[in-house]
Amino acid sequence: MTHWFYLPICLLIPTSQFLVHCELNFLYQFWIHTELLGDLGPLGFIFNTASHHKVHHGANRYCLDKNYGGFLCIWDRMFGTFQEELASEEIVYGLVDQPKFFDVLKHQLFYFKLLHQKAASTKSWSDWCKAWLAGPGWFPGLGRLGNNDLVDKIPKRNKHRTSVPLSTHLYLIVQVVGVLLIHDDLGRFQEGMTWGGISLISLFIFWTLASVGLHYDQHPLTGVVEIVRCLVSLLVSYSTGGWTEGSIPPALFSLWMAVSLILTATSLQGGNKPLDAALSKKQ
């Protein structure tokens, strides 16, 4: 969706060059999301590094609103948003108000509810607009970006973890690997596909990832959502003949969904226990 913000570029730069630039930009950012690599020495004066990007993802007070660049850091240096990593202070990653759930769809949408609550608490139309358009740290009476001094210097929080057992992790790894293969196929074959086919496969991808998040959150509707996902997927695959161009043959896809359905149904019959109960019985 961020590509919409770059539409004015099409007035000067050919679309093919712009798309190649975007892909190279994304590829470059793969290696900077790690703690295994640090600075690049003198190159760090121009290029973004893993050390720089750690600051971008930090919730420490000195990390807020810093190091926006993906490929180059010269823009942050020019506009005053650059910050070197401080060796004396361990970085705590995440948001200032860190959400504690794994639901991938909820992660994309939860902040709009917080914005609505902030806007509803304002007493003027101007503040109502600022609640939606100003920075996340803004509150009535503060500047556009709020006041970072109100944030803890070093946040104190426990890492949010799930208590699901190893067997459930294994089950979900299979689901994610399958989705990654299908997502890769969608990227390679979408030009020759109909909108209906693209929509169905996209729905399957989103539904599967949402179900994975519900599993890790141990949501009470997890079993129902997973059973319906498997049943609908089996029905669509049977009625359409399956996606023959994909890496997963239709017969293997149906087997995957059928086994997933059996495991989930078995776990529900065992008193809505996690899927490890079903997998343990199989073992």
3-state secondary structure of 159: coil
Same domain, 172 and 240: yes
Residue 33 CB neighbours (<10 A): 11
Q: What is the per-residue pLDDT across 80-95, written as a single tens digit (0 to 9) for each?
A: 999 999 989 999 999 9
Same domain, 182 and 272: yes
Q: DSSP letter at 185?
A: H
* Residue 235 structure tokens: 């029905």
Same domain, 174 and 245: yes
Same domain, 34 and 108: no
Determine, yes or no, domain membership for 136: yes
Check residue 281 and give its pLDDT: 47
Same domain, 277 and 179: yes
Sign of the four-CA dihedral 97, 101, 107, 109 = negative
Choosing from 20, 44, 79, the residue where a domain stops is 79
Same domain, 171 and 255: yes
Check residue 283 and give its pLDDT: 47
Instruction: Give the domain extent around 48.
Output: 2-79
> How many helices (H) and strands (E) would you count in the chain?
10, 0
Determine, yes or no, domain membership for 144: yes
Check residue 203 and give its pLDDT: 96
Check residue 127 and give its pLDDT: 94
Check residue 3 and give its pLDDT: 63
Check residue 278 and give its pLDDT: 44
Could you tell me which residues are beta bridge partners of residue 93?
58
Check residue 6 and give its pLDDT: 77
Whole-angstrom CA distances from 255 to 36, 40, 233 are: 40, 48, 11
Residues of the chain with pLDDT under 70: 1-3, 270-283
Which residue in this structure is represented by tokens 């759930």? 101
Check residue 270 and give its pLDDT: 63
Determine, yes or no, domain membership for 218: yes
Q: What is the DSSP string of 53-104?
A: HHHHTB-SGGGTT----SSBSHHHHHHT---PPPTTSPPPBS-TT------H
Same domain, 178 and 114: no
Q: DSSP letter at 153?
A: S
Q: How many domains does the chain have?
A: 3
Q: What is the per-residue pLDDT across 223-239, written as a single tens digit (0 to 9) for each?
A: 999 999 999 999 999 99
